[in-house]
């Protein structure tokens, strides 16, 4: 078949060269978006080209609404008329409802707001916005800022020590430091501080709003229109590819460090291994998403967010942007694991000692703020249904039984360290609550690692099969080491 082969070679070569031309055609543009592009094609060519690659530039809402319901990505029943027949372009997101957006400014004759918010996205995606508002993440900023205990820990992170007379004293952190540490993920507050003039080069001097807390894409960002969150934290601008939101890398941005090593666990899990080795064969963009057919191992999104159905169209799990929907126990222990909170505003929890924590220092849960056994069971069953797409019940129940045990064991290991910590406080070897910070001495930092790093790592490893993350890689061995370290520290320090 040399002739056919030659012909095919030629065709395939030409096809490869022609592939960029295959991108779906540009949807019609609004006059305003065309005006934006007239300058921004030159001013910021990268984001314009990025946007052209995405579905937002290629389909109008009217077209999107014509998809069968299961495949539809727009959750609005009705989209405002002026948006219906044009691409979702610059102006469709960055202008509109100007009064609500405190950062709106006159820019080439349009009222433009730089900070696109959930309210903007909700014009087409109201259901996702509504769900997300019940999600812990939407409140990630408030839950930190309003909780004096967490803010005390944050001070030990971002405060700048100055040594005088052999003693280190902390200077409170600047807003800039907070914005790029805790608030990078939790979200800054973006405020309009006035106006400023910039030389934009080819376009001359122009006036812009002066924003504090900018840039930021934190999940609990407080926006100039008062809304909470940033959809672009996961739905990365300006291509807004669903492939990206579904990729585990997106979650890794905030979930990889030693305090929340979820992505590190996923990386060494069987699920992760399958993803890395095989995902080039998958369809990461299909809606709804069919296990086995479109993908052969879950990413974070598959278990926690996405609409899953089988090949026959039967729904396995509904799409949710309230990601605690399928989670019954909060593994991120501060300082113990506990049932998920009823309200996403965790700073409103008070424990039996009147502190803003979901458990006491010895592990008693603040039960009235936490979901009950019935709700826990309902959520576990929802997750079990996801697992059940590929695993028999015996497999799933075996997995859950281990997680239950790990929660108990890790809590006991945190308690052991905490009892030693309390002993050090009682003996006056360290200064603890209520009069002093429990986070600002060396020995307290050893104790902090126990619940903030090691217990969390061990629990996540249990939940998602992360092997060594629950053993020698910030796992159980490290927890036993902390206990021995605290014993040793106390022994040395109580010598006369």
Residues 221-250 that bind its own copies (CB under 8 A): 236, 239, 241, 243-244, 247, 249-250
Q: How many residues sit in the footprint of its own copies (CB under 8 A)? A: 144
Q: Which stretch binds its own copies (CB under 8 A): 14-22, 60-68, 133-141, 343-351?
A: 14-22
310 contacts 290 by C-beta, under 8 angstroms: yes
Scanning residues 110 to 139, which ones bind its own copies (CB under 8 A)? 114
**Per CB under 8 A, 391 contacts its own copies:** yes
Q: Which of residues 330-389 bind its own copies (CB under 8 A)?
A: 388-389
Which residues in the 459-478 window bind its own copies by CB under 8 A? 461-462, 465, 467-473, 475-477
Q: Of residues 40-59, which lie at the interface with its own copies (CB under 8 A)? A: 42, 44-50, 52-53
Under the criterion CB under 8 A, does residue 393 sit at the interface with its own copies? yes
Q: Tell me, what DSSP letter sits at residue 247?
A: S
- The nearest distance, CB 135 to its own copies, in angstroms, is 19
49 or 352, CB closer to its own copies?
A: 49
Of the candidates 274, 321, 324, 315, which has an alpha carbon nearest to the alpha carbon of residue 295?
274
Q: Does 70 bind its own copies (CB under 8 A)?
A: no
- Listed ranges 5-13, 72-80, 340-348, 358-366: which one lies at the site for its own copies (CB under 8 A): 5-13
DSSP, residue by residue, 142-211? HHHHT-HHHHHHHHHHH-EEEEETTEEEEEPPPHHHHHHTHHHHH-PBPEEEEEEEEE-GGG-EEEEEEE
Instruction: Please state, as a whole number, how many other Cβ atoms lie within 10 Å of the Cβ of residue 246.
Output: 24
Residue 59 or 366: which CB sits closer to its own copies? 59
Dist. CA 76–CA 316, nearest whole Å: 22
**Scanning residues 154 to 183, which ones bind its own copies (CB under 8 A)?**
156-163, 166-168, 170, 173-174, 176-177, 179-182
Least separation in angstroms between CB 308 and its own copies:
9
| Binding of residue 442 to its own copies (CB under 8 A) | yes
Give the shortest CB-78-to-its own copies separation in angstroms.
Answer: 31
Q: Which is nearer to its own copies, 325 or 411 (CB)?
A: 411
CB of 271 to its own copies, least distance (A): 10
| 452 within 8 A of 481, measured Cβ to Cβ | no
Report if residue 203 touches its own copies, rule: CB under 8 A: no
Tell me the C-alpha distance between 279 and 243, whole Å: 11
Q: Copy the structure tokens of residue 433.
A: 């609550």
Q: With CB under 8 A as the contact rule, which of the stretches 29-37, 121-129, 144-152, 413-421 interacts with its own copies?
A: 413-421
Say whether residue 407 binds its own copies (CB under 8 A). Answer: no
CA distance 452 to 402: 21
Whether the CB-CB separation of 60 and 85 falls below 8 Å is answered with: yes
CB atoms within 10 A of CB 370: 20
**Binding residues for its own copies restricted to 74-103, rule: CB under 8 A:** none
Which residues, 246 to 305, sit near its own copies by CB under 8 A? Answer: 247, 249-250, 252-254, 256-259, 267-270, 272-274, 276-278, 280-281, 290-293, 296
The residue with tokens 């799933």 is 396
Q: To the nearest whole angstrom, how small is the minimum distance from the Cβ of residue 109 to its own copies?
A: 18
Cβ neighbors of 135 (< 8 A, separation 6 or more) are: 321, 322, 323, 324, 344
Q: Given the complex with its own copies, which of 51 and 369 has the nearer CB atom?
A: 51
| Residue pair 70/307 in contact by the 8 Å Cβ criterion | yes
DSSP strand pairing (110-112 vs 205-212): unpaired
Closest residue by Cα to residue 95 from 115, 67, 73: 115
- Does position 12 interact with its own copies (CB under 8 A)? The reply is yes
């Amino acid at each position: 078949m040399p002739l056919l082969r030659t012909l095919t070679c030629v065709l395939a070569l030409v096809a490869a060269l022609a592939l960029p031309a295959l991108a779906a055609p540009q949807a019609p543009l609004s006059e305003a978006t065309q005006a934006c592009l007239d300058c921004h094609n030159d001013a910021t060519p990268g984001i314009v080209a990025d946007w052209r690659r995405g579905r937002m530039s290629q389909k109008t809402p009217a077209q999107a609404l014509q998809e069968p319901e299961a495949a539809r990505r727009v959750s609005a029943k009705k989209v405002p008329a002026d948006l219906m027949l044009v691409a979702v372009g610059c102006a469709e997101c960055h202008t509109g409802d100007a009064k609500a957006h405190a950062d709106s400014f006159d820019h080439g004759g349009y009222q433009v707001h730089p900070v696109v918010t959930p309210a903007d996205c909700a014009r087409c995606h109201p259901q996702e916005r509504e769900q997300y508002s019940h999600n812990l993440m939407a409140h990630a900023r408030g839950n930190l800022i309003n909780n004096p205990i967490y803010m005390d820990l944050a001070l030990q992170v971002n405060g700048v020590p100055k040594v005088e007379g052999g003693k280190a004293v902390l200077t409170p952190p600047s807003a800039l430091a907070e914005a790029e540490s805790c608030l990078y993920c939790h979200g800054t507050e973006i405020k309009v501080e006035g106006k400023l003039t910039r030389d934009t080069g080819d376009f001359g001097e122009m006036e812009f709003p002066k924003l504090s807390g900018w840039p930021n894409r934190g999940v609990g960002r407080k926006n100039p229109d008062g809304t909470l969150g940033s959809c672009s934290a996961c739905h990365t601008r300006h291509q807004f590819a669903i492939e990206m939101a579904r990729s585990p890398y997106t979650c890794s941005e905030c979930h990889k460090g030693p305090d929340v090593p979820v992505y590190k666990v996923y990386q060494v899990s069987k699920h992760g291994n399958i993803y890395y080795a095989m995902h080039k064969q998958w369809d990461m963009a299909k809606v709804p998403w069919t296990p086995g057919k479109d993908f052969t191992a879950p990413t974070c999104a598959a278990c926690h967010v996405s609409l899953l159905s089988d090949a026959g169209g039967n729904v396995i799990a509904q799409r949710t942007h309230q990601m605690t929907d399928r989670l019954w126990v909060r593994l991120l222990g501060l300082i113990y694991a506990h049932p998920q909170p009823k309200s996403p505003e965790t700073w409103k929890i008070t424990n039996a000692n009147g502190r803003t924590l979901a458990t006491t220092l010895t592990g008693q849960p603040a039960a009235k703020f936490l979901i009950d056994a019935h709700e826990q069971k309902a959520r576990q069953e929802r997750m079990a249904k996801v697992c059940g797409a590929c695993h028999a019940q015996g497999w799933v129940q075996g997995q859950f039984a281990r997680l239950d045990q790990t929660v108990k064991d890790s809590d006991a290991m945190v308690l052991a360290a905490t009892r030693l910590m309390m002993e050090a406080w009682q003996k006056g070897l360290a200064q603890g609550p209520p009069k002093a910070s429990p986070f600002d001495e060396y020995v307290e930092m050893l104790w902090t690692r126990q619940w903030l790093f090691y217990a969390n790592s061990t629990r996540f490893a249990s939940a998602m099969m992360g092997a060594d993350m629950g053993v020698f890689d910030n796992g159980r061995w490290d927890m036993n080491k902390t206990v021995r370290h605290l014993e040793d520290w106390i022994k040395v320090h109580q010598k006369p």
